[in-house]
Amino acid sequence: MTDFLSRLKQYLPAAAICTDPDRMAPRLLDQRGRLHGAARALVLPGSVEEAERVIRLCNEYRVPIVPQAGNTGLVGGATPAADGRAILLGCDRLNRVRQMGAADFSMVAEAGCTLESLQRAAAAEGRLFPLWLASAGSARLGGLIGSNAGGTQVLRYGNTRELVLGIEAVLADGRRYNGLHSLRKRNIGYDLKQLLIGSEGTLGFVTAASLRLWPQPKGQACALVAVASIAAALTLFQQAQDMAGEVLTAFEIINAAAMQLVADQHAELARPFATTPAWTVLIELSGGESDAVLSERLCALLSAANTPDALVAQDLTQRQHFWGLRERIPSAQKRAGSSIKHDLSLPIAAIPEFVQQAAALLAAHMPLFEPVIFGHVGDGNLHFNLQYLGETGAARKLPVPAFDAAEQVANELLYPLVLACGGDLSAEHGIGRLRLSAAARYHDAGERALMATLKQAFDPLGLFNPGALLSGQGNL
């Protein structure tokens, strides 16, 4: 097998192959620090041709391939097995914007571009690339596509799936997929790019994509609204859709526990309300009208909805403050100790009933954990996290075995309830390795069998990302 590496070195420039343990170390640990992998090399092709050579050689030598982009995923989808047989296939050197099509609202970029660099490239031409995640500085396009990333503007602009017009990739068996067009409509057979989007690196390696751009909004308006219940939040959401549907860009929810955590852990952020409300909604409008016109529409909406406790941002600083409260929840949770994360997908109308039943179950069975609930309620996506409160006076950080056991209990309480409500285990984070056993247990067996049929057709040797997404593909 040294043969494999020496052959690889013949095919690729030196910059494309790294076996230095220090450089590899951070890429072998997942974002949440829960998985530790090993790899024979980190391979960084600089062109689609180089990627083809790597993947064909891996086919020849039966070497597993774990694609990894920015390594910002939350479910361990880019961490190789500990046996060290795989290579890590990175897109760092594929980092050019190949083509800017401002006139037809599209651009072609390589998989290694960070989300922030894509946003900047679009903005420089008066366009908007509307994907918005907290990890924009390090998340890379290849990973955004592999995970079908969501974020805070999905309500208006869709998931990554809706923002990808075309894809260039090398498939698992070494065939190239030349789907890099920027057409809005193209009915010429199966839409193969859809297979790669959200496939978590199990079908091939994306090298570039053509992305859909939008006009830069001319104005924005933002408000924090205190509501007494999640049902009231949903009523407000329907009114917002009816009165401002086309400019409604975000509709986020934050429960009292989440708001309190941010206040405790991020004292630099002023508390918006004198008393923390049971639920806080963050609404944002944006579009082709001015700040003033949009603020007026927002005020009209809040007035029609009869929401007395509403703060409308008066300027950019205040808008950033409102968003800061929302975006600092994950870091506040981390500072406060251990938390079990969920990324639940629910039919929007089922959310109030789900939250009530879930809270009752958790109070009864997991009294040492407090539900920290926030997320993209307008998309039916709740981050329903459980913050460990600790025994009286004890540290709030659970050791790994106790944490794993508690997570198991939480899953067994929540997932059956989610499914009974017509929801599903993951809205935007995916399955990866950390949710694989849950998916094997709770995800529809018929659908998983169809996924296996597809995997078998495109990756008959099972080389791509074994142990992620699909079971029975090796494991950690």
Site for a copy of itself in 286-325 (CB under 8 A): 287-288
Residue given tokens 């016109």 in the structure block: 293
Q: Is the dihedral of CA 411, 414, 420, 421 positive or negative?
A: negative
Q: Which is nearer to a copy of itself, 80 or 380 (CB)?
A: 380
| C-alpha triplet 105, 109, 111: angle, nearest 5° | 140
**Least distance between a copy of itself and beta carbon 286 (Å):** 9
Tell me which residue of 468, 279, 309 sits closest to 382, measured CA to CA: 279
Per CB under 8 A, the list member of 19, 229, 238, 303 interacting with a copy of itself is: 238
Q: Which stretch binds a copy of itself (CB under 8 A): 97-105, 314-322, 364-372, 396-404?
A: 97-105
Per CB under 8 A, the list member of 176, 266, 321, 441 interacting with a copy of itself is: 176
Q: Which stretch binds a copy of itself (CB under 8 A): 27-35, 83-91, 195-203, 262-270?
A: 195-203
Q: Which is nearer to a copy of itself, 26 or 190 (CB)?
A: 190
Q: Which is nearer to a copy of itself, 30 or 428 (CB)?
A: 428
Within 12-41, which residues bind a copy of itself (CB under 8 A)? none
Within 400-459, which residues bind a copy of itself (CB under 8 A)? 422-431, 439, 443-444, 446-451, 453-454, 456-458
Exposure letters 114-134 (e unless 16+ CB within 10 A, then b): bbebbbebbeeeebbbbbbbe
**Least distance between a copy of itself and beta carbon 422 (Å):** 6
**Least distance between a copy of itself and beta carbon 128 (Å):** 9
Residue 47 to residue 369: CA distance in whole angstroms: 48
- Do the beta carbons of residue 348 and residue 380 sit within 8 Å? yes
Q: Which is nearer to a copy of itself, 182 or 387 (CB)?
A: 182
Per CB under 8 A, the list member of 49, 60, 104, 404 interacting with a copy of itself is: 104
Note whether 259 binds a copy of itself by CB under 8 A.
no
Per CB under 8 A, the list member of 18, 171, 283, 310 interacting with a copy of itself is: 171
Note whether 188 binds a copy of itself by CB under 8 A.
yes
Per CB under 8 A, the list member of 243, 299, 366, 461 interacting with a copy of itself is: 243
**Least distance between a copy of itself and beta carbon 215 (Å):** 4
Rounded alpha-carbon distances, angstroms, from residue 100 to 1, 118, 199, 213 = 43, 11, 27, 10
Residues 6+ apart with CB under 8 A from 206: 67, 91, 111, 141, 142, 145, 146, 167, 168, 169, 196
Q: Where are any strands of DSSP class E within 294-392?
A: 310-312, 339-340, 344-345, 369-376, 381-388
Q: Which stretch binds a copy of itself (CB under 8 A): 99-107, 113-121, 129-137, 262-270?
A: 99-107
Which tokens is 162 given? 């809706």
Q: Which stretch binds a copy of itself (CB under 8 A): 26-34, 110-118, 346-354, 396-404?
A: 346-354
Which tokens is 191 given? 């839409």
User: How would DSSP label each residue in 136-179?
Assistant: TTT-BHHHHHHTT--BTTHHHH--HHHHEEEEEEEETTS-EEEE
Note whether 346 binds a copy of itself by CB under 8 A.
yes
Within 196-215, which residues bind a copy of itself (CB under 8 A)? 197-199, 203, 214-215
Tell me which residue of 460, 469, 458, 464 sits closest to 425, measured CA to CA: 469
Query: Collapsing DSSP states into helix, strand and coil, what is residue 316?
Result: helix
**Least distance between a copy of itself and beta carbon 18 (Å):** 30
The site string for a copy of itself over 126-165 (x = CB under 8 A, - otherwise) reads: x--------------------xx-x---x---xx-xx---
